[in-house]
Amino acid sequence: ATDLRAPVVLKLLLPLSTFFSSPLLDPTMSRLIRPQVLNNAFLTAANEARQKAPSLTHNQKVARLYRHGLKTLSSWVIDRDVFLDEATDLRARFDANRGVSGNAANRLLGEGEDELFQNTHPDPYTVAYMPGGSLFMRNPPLPMEVCFPDGDYPADAPTITFNPDMTVCKPETGKSAIGSVLVDYAKKNME
């Protein structure tokens, strides 16, 4: 009789071993392969809770890449003077490619995302009230239904809804925690 569990164990160990090693490069493409360590059932559940990502222009993607680059840099560099020097170098790299358009711009954006992925800090700095911070959801506001069970809200009662990270819910920003929301503690963000 053959043991059917051995191939399953091998399939489960392969993604974990690739996760803890350095990112792999696909020989047919110049992009990084980001290893998948979660099973399909969890990914399906996470995708149902995840907010719909807003469609972004190329300029917005580059601005977000720059901002994430600065945040990653602040996680790695503690000394403020060194951070300012490195931030100036990062800004010069972005400014050097400012006028590029078309396929070269998309290629540079992909290379920048890959470099950001490679340089991601294992324990990034987190603002105290954001997911992963020491104050996250320490004193969340009570729902209006709990404060006023009879439904008789006073005229001066707040009408805004807060996300779990204490930002105001705005559907146009892609951060609206009305209903279910996925808080990813590994990446320390709300999706």
Are 163 and 157 a contacting pair, CB within 8 Å? Answer: no
Under a CB-based contact definition with an 8 Å cutoff, are residues 113 and 65 in contact? yes
Say how far residue 97 (Cα) sits from the centre of its chain.
25
Select from 174, 188, 170 the least CA-distant residue to 56. Answer: 174
**Mean pLDDT by groups of 10 residues along the chain of 191 residues:** 41 38 43 60 76 82 94 92 95 92 91 93 83 76 81 82 72 65 68 64
Residue 71, token pair as written in the block: 């945040």
Residue 142: what pLDDT?
77
- Whole-model pTM? 0.55
Give the CA distances from residue 107 to residues 40, 54, 113, 124, in Å, rounded to whole numbers and listed in that order.
Answer: 30, 21, 10, 27
Ordered DSSP codes for 126-151: --TTSTTSTTTTSSPPPPHHHH-TTS
Backbone angles phi, psi at 12, to 5 degrees: -75, -35
Answer for the pair 75, 124: CB distance below 8 angstroms, yes or no: yes
